[in-house]
Chains A and B, each alone.
Chain A
Amino acid sequence: MITQSLTVSAAVAIAERRSGRVDAGVRAGRARTLMLRNALALRTNNALSFLTGFVEPVIFLLAFGYGVGALVGTITYGGMTLPYAVYVAPALLAVSAMNGAIFDSTFNVFFKMHYLRIYQAITSTSLGPLDVALGEIGWAMLRGAMYAAGFLTVVTLLGLTTSWWALALVPAAMLIAFAFASVGMAVTSYMSTFHQLNWMQFVLLPLFMFSGTFFPITAYPEWLQVVVAATPLWQAIALTRGLFLGVLEPALLIPVAYFAVMAAIGLIVTTRRLDRLFLR
């Protein structure tokens, strides 16, 4: 039997406690509840598609790091002479963080938005659009970070890790994944068909190939180097490579600031779009 309480319900009391806040209209502070939902849904999602994220960078490492690496031998980077596999490994880690975050924040978010329609259900509760954004982006971040941690383990087992600073790659991967996911979700909120999402490959593939992943950008003319250095994946690789090699310089703060700004812009746009789509 359904009992109807005479006093104010618990849900209302919870919402009222937050109602005085500046951000009360967009955020209830419960992004984790959406992450819990995603964790529960993971069992039904294709676990294999989740695993590919772990396997992909390993395949690239074997093919390029060792395959191509046997031809290249060593590479000079920042005054150091490195085995080629050591050169590409941290870049592949940045790529896996990016791919994990982008996949989750684009295809998965699009599916939830237009087919599962779960945001429609969520926005009819007291949860706000910023909670939804933080929940999804936070989830994508976890996914990216898990891939990065898994790959770091493989790389370490292969004996490529030389510095304890490599452990800092896990929080670095979280930052990278968060920034990519927030922009990915913002872009996805403007998409109306699945094939528009495929256009993103046009952006991601050149980023992957030409951002200093497999060869130093000094191979480019000066002006092109400036362009590439402004792209997010180059910034990500600058960060992961610096930490992986234990070369700590103040310049590593540039990518950190870069991703903080990128994450903030993505979050703001995503929140506004969700509000516009589901609450206006």
Chain B
Amino acid sequence: MIRARALTKAYSRAASAKRAERRPSEDTSAKRAERRPSEVSTGSDGGRTLLAVDGIDLDVAAGESFGILGANGAGKSTTMRMIGATLQRTSGELTILGRDPAHEGPVIRAHLGVVPQQDTLDTELTVRENLLTYGRYFGLPRTALVPRIEELLDFAQLQDKRDEKVEALSGGMKRRLTIARGLVNDPSLLLLDEPTTGLDPQARHILWDRLYQLRETGVTLVLTTHYMDEAEQLCERLVIMDAGRIVAEGAPADLIRTYSSREVVEVRFGTNRNSEVLPHLHGIGDRIEELPDRLLVYTDTGESDLQEIVARGFMPVTALVRRASLEDVFLRLTGRSLVDG
């Protein structure tokens, strides 16, 4: 469905500054500045170019649910917009459903359902009118849209809100409406950019349930997320992006097997003591990672390792033995935690 080779998106410095302005959570600290996508000098005038996406390769097959996992600013949204044919690549090769978005944008977009990160619902219209006008933009006749809208309202569980203004909806409802809107043209590929960011747990579960249902009907899903539980729940296969590059690719379980031990022991000794204790834990587990607030011991034998730590005379304030997750894979590959590390 999607085939991208050495896909690159570069912004000139002026343009990138403008885009950065629009981004809600802008990285400011020096530490975070390191993880900004690479800035390279180009041309004889020495003008700088910001590479938001730096030569990524990916293939997505029909019917697959594919995830792009990464922290804020990793290049996820830029990739999604390139796949959505609303942002043109600077170089590389990209085909979506066998077509080149540089030349066949409208036909590709007719195939796609798009759920952008920020809601772009039409707040001057009602729920039903949003679906109707969006369908009309695709050129679908009203007679075909009327029954389709009923299906979509059922699917999004918004029948009782059909004549309400969009503003009256909760965050979760708005997101469901955006998904319903993305389905109005019966897309073969649905692009979801951070579909559950900012939603409460209950709203997320309702949304996941809807997306499961879609998967069963054969719609190809491509989604970005910075929640590892979401990626594990929804994606059969995923790539991990960091600073505009893909750092790993595979099924969630395989990635965990490859890049992490089976279990993780999380121990906290208090903010200042973590680094004091660290040297004394030598030999426990496969690897120990130090985070500002805790130590992570990667191991296949969590319980006995925790006992060993206590046996060495270090009583943690809190301790937790858990199964390894994609969060650990991400930490291993990028040296940072996924959500606001």
A interface, CB within 8 angstroms of B:
1-5, 9-12, 14-16, 18-19, 24-25, 28, 30, 33-34, 36-37, 40-41, 44-45, 116-118, 120-128, 278-280
Looking at A28, A41, A125, A280, which has the most chain B CB atoms within 10 Å of its CB? A125
> Would you call B110 and A4 a contact (CB within 8 A)?
no
A29 to B215, CA, bound (A): 33
CB of A1 within 8 A of CB of B124, answer no
B139 touches A (CB below 8 Å): yes
| Cα-based distance from A226 to B284 in the complex (angstroms) | 90
CB<8 Å pairs between A and B, sample of 28: A2-B152, A4-B217, A4-B218, A4-B219, A11-B110, A11-B140, A11-B186, A12-B110, A14-B110, A16-B107, A16-B110, A18-B106, A19-B104, A24-B106, A36-B136, A40-B125, A41-B125, A45-B124, A116-B123, A118-B120, A121-B122, A123-B86, A124-B84, A124-B86, A124-B114, A124-B116, A125-B109, A279-B88
Q: Which of A3, A24, A116, A118 meets B151, CB within 8 Å?
A: A3
- Given contacts A30-B136, A126-B139, could you give 15 more A-B pairs where the C-beta distance is less than 8 Å? A1-B151, A2-B151, A2-B152, A2-B155, A9-B187, A10-B185, A15-B106, A34-B137, A36-B133, A37-B122, A40-B129, A120-B120, A121-B134, A124-B114, A126-B106
Question: How many Å lie between the Cα of A259 and that of B224 in the bound state?
Answer: 48
Residues from chain A with a CB closer than 8 A to the CB of B139 are 11, 14-15, 28, 30, 33, 126
Contact between chains at A122 and B137 (CB < 8 Å): yes
The residue that A10 contacts in the complex, of B88, B105, B140, with Cβ under 8 A, is B140
- Contact (A125, B134) CB under 8 Å given A1-B155, A37-B125: yes
B207 CB within 8 Å of chain A: no
Q: Given the complex, which residues of A lie within 8 Å of B121, measured CB to CB?
A: 121
* Cα-based distance from A9 to B135 in the complex (angstroms): 12
A33→B137 contact, CB < 8 A? yes
In the assembled complex, the CB of B111 is this many whole angstroms from the nearest CB of chain A, namely 6
Number of interface residues of B (CB under 8 A): 48
User: Cβ of B118 < 8 Å from any Cβ of A?
Assistant: yes
A25 touches B106 (CB 8 A): yes
- Give the chain A neighbours of B212 by CB distance below 8 A: none
Q: Does B144 contact A (CB under 8 A)?
A: yes
Contact (Cβ within 8 A) B107 A118: no
| B184, closest chain A residue (CB) | A11
Q: Is the CB of B140 within 8 A of A2?
A: no
CB-CB nearest in chain B for A25: B105
A188 CA to B279 CA, complexed, in Å: 62
Q: Do the beta carbons of B144 and A10 come within 8 Å of each other?
A: yes
Q: Is B2 part of the binding interface, using a Cβ–Cβ cutoff of 8 Å?
A: no
Q: Measured between alpha carbons, how far is A3 from B152 in the docked complex, in Å?
A: 10
Asked if B223 is an interface residue, CB under 8 A from chain A, the answer is no
> How far apart sit A34 and B187, CA to CA, in the bound complex (Å)?
21
Q: Which residue of A lies closest to B181 (CB)?
A: A121
Q: Is the CB of B188 within 8 A of A15?
A: no
B213 within 8 A of A: yes
* Closest partner residue, chain A, to B97 (CB atom): A12
Give, as a whole number of angstroms, the nearest-CB distance from B314 to chain A.
Answer: 53
Alpha-carbon distance between A18 and B106 when the two chains are bound, in angstroms = 9
In the bound complex, residues from chain A placing their C-beta under 8 Å from that of B214 are 2
B162 within 8 A of A: no
Is B222 located at the chain interface by the 8 A CB criterion?
Answer: no
B106 touches A9 (CB 8 A): no
- Cross-chain contact B133 with A37 (CB below 8 angstroms): yes
**CB of B265 closer than 8 Å to a CB of A:** no
A11 with B151: CB separation less than 8 A:
no
The smallest beta-carbon distance between A11 and chain B, in angstroms, is 4
| Residue contact B118 to A10, C-beta cutoff 8 Å | no
Query: Is B105 within 8 A of A279, CB to CB?
Result: yes
Residue in contact with B122 in the complex, picked from A2, A10, A41, A126, CB distance below 8 Å? A41
A203 to B122, CA, bound (A): 32
Q: Give chain B residues whose Cβ lies under 8 Å from the Cβ of A37.
A: 122, 125, 133, 136
* A71 to B152 CA separation, bound complex (whole angstroms): 66
B145 to chain A, nearest CB (A): 10
Across-interface contacts of B138 in A (CB, < 8 A): 11, 14-15, 125-127
Q: What residues on A are CB-neighbors of B109 within 8 Å?
A: 15, 124-126
CB-based contact A15/B137 at 8 Å: no
Tell me which residues across on chain B come within 8 A of A30, comparing CB atoms.
136-137, 139
Q: CA separation between A122 and B133, bound complex, in Å?
A: 10
Q: Is the beta-carbon distance between B107 and A12 smaller than 8 angstroms?
A: yes
For the complex of A and B, list the 4 residue pairs with the smallest distance between their C-beta atoms, beginning with the closest: A15-B110, A11-B185, A41-B124, A9-B186
Residues of B130-165 at the interface with A, using a CB-CB cut-off of 8 Å, are 133-134, 136-140, 144, 151-152, 154-155, 165
Q: Are B188 and A9 touching (Cβ within 8 A)? A: yes
B179-206 at interface with A (beta carbon < 8 Å): 181, 183, 185-188
